Structure 1
Amino acid sequence: MLDKICQLARCAGTCVMKFYDSKKKIINVSYKSDKTPITNVDYAANNIIQKGLLSITPEIPILSEEASYDFKVYSNWKKYWLIDPLDGTKEFLKKNGEFTVNISLVENGIPILGVIYAPFFDILYSSFYNYAWKEKKIGLKEKISVSQSTVPVLITSRSHPDQELKNYLEEIKNYKLKKLGSSLKFCLIAEGTAQIYPRFGNTHIWDTAAGQAIVIAAGGKVKTWTGEDLNYSLSSSSFSFVNSGFYASGL
């Protein structure tokens, strides 16, 4: 099944790149209530992924960033697909290549499978339970794992600076800093290129589930600043689409 999901992510990524590279295809931009952009490209990729998932696992429901749901329906889901068809829409519009397709499978509140495809770079990351891989060419997977460093690389969001992050960085004396868009930050932690991804601003569960699955499978951890797990359990009384601040770490 993982291979099929990887192929599906590549198909959605191919669709995204057709818009990204074309001078003829029109990109329509609108804004959500939280002032984040959404485009017709997000919807096109979403349609490809939803159709593919329904074909692969018709028995498993799908929760997507680009859809609305009745809480009475999804609160009973114990196992579901969680997708972000175009993570890093801002980066897509800036044309810096730092955007991804995210697909994850959540079971009993835990992301057990994660796929992140960066179509501009043609790099795919995937995981299933305790195994994580990086695929630079189709069919050529290499296992990845987190790594430590005497001078850790801190990786932060390119598009979401905040004062709490500045205060956090002032307390750390010895580090290197790298900025990057989308869920690629999780991937760099998982492959050992970076060691810490601190996040204080808002994210949503579809932003983090696939990345969390890959980081944990690679031997890392993703925790809130109070040491708790991010909440993906739809039946939880404290459930919210909005995540608490968190950090991903390979240390």
Structure 2
Amino acid sequence: MALPGTVLMQSVDEVPIDKMGLAHYFANYETYLGPIRQRPLKFLELGIARGDSLRHWESWLPNAEITGLDITPCPARFDSGRVRCYVGEQQDKAVLDRLAAERAPEGFDVIIDDAAHVGQLARLCFWHLFEHHLKPGGYYFIEDWGTGYWPQYPDGKHYRPPDPDLAAHEKLLDRMHKSALVQAVYPLRKATGWMRWNLVRRRFHGHDRGMVGFVKELIDECGAEDMTHPSFGTGTPRRSRFDWMRVSLGHVVIRKAG
């Protein structure tokens, strides 16, 4: 499901064209998939619209077996015999399991989510595919997460971040800490220091709508080792399921840990 205004490369020989003015999408694909593009990859794209993107992948990934999913039938025809399209919703786990069993029973090497751009749907789809149908070391790309900032999306909302500054109580404690009286009286200095440490702002006003909130959940997964630290965290200590995660304007790239 391509966004309005989306333009995709029609041929591997073409100069990359901006998608919503974001040429670095293609730079990311070149960076991470370029070194492996000759391999017999198992490749899945969610949200294929007319199939233009699949034509590009069919040409640029000459040995890949390519699978597409969209809520409407794809009208494009492909000559290589390496492309197959399915109809269904990205959050439908039964559909995802079926296409994975038929096309990549050992897991996909690459998955691209360019489907609904709705946080809850992308989230359900991501965790199911990531856990069950993405190979260790595989890549998962999420496109257009910035729709969470667009109020015309069902789960989006305008966001106006406040100016970075200390809260009123933090400013008061800072002034107290610097005062001659507090510095001269040890118990006051200790008490003020304790309050400055324990009353510091713990939460920052953020944007948790739609795709933006989903991306922040993925950042939490990057912090799994700290969240479950045996001395400071909770739960069973574990490492992140991500090898790494890269976030850029409108684009997320995740490599699954081996």
The question of a shared fold, defined as TM-score above 0.5 by the shorter chain, is answered with no
Q: Specify which structure has the higher proportion of strand.
A: 1
Q: Which has the higher contact order (CA 8 A, sep 6+)?
A: 1
Q: Name the larger-Rg structure.
A: 2
Give TM-score scaled by structure 2 length.
Answer: 0.27
Q: Specify which structure has the higher proportion of helix.
A: 2
Give TM-score scaled by structure 1 length.
Answer: 0.28
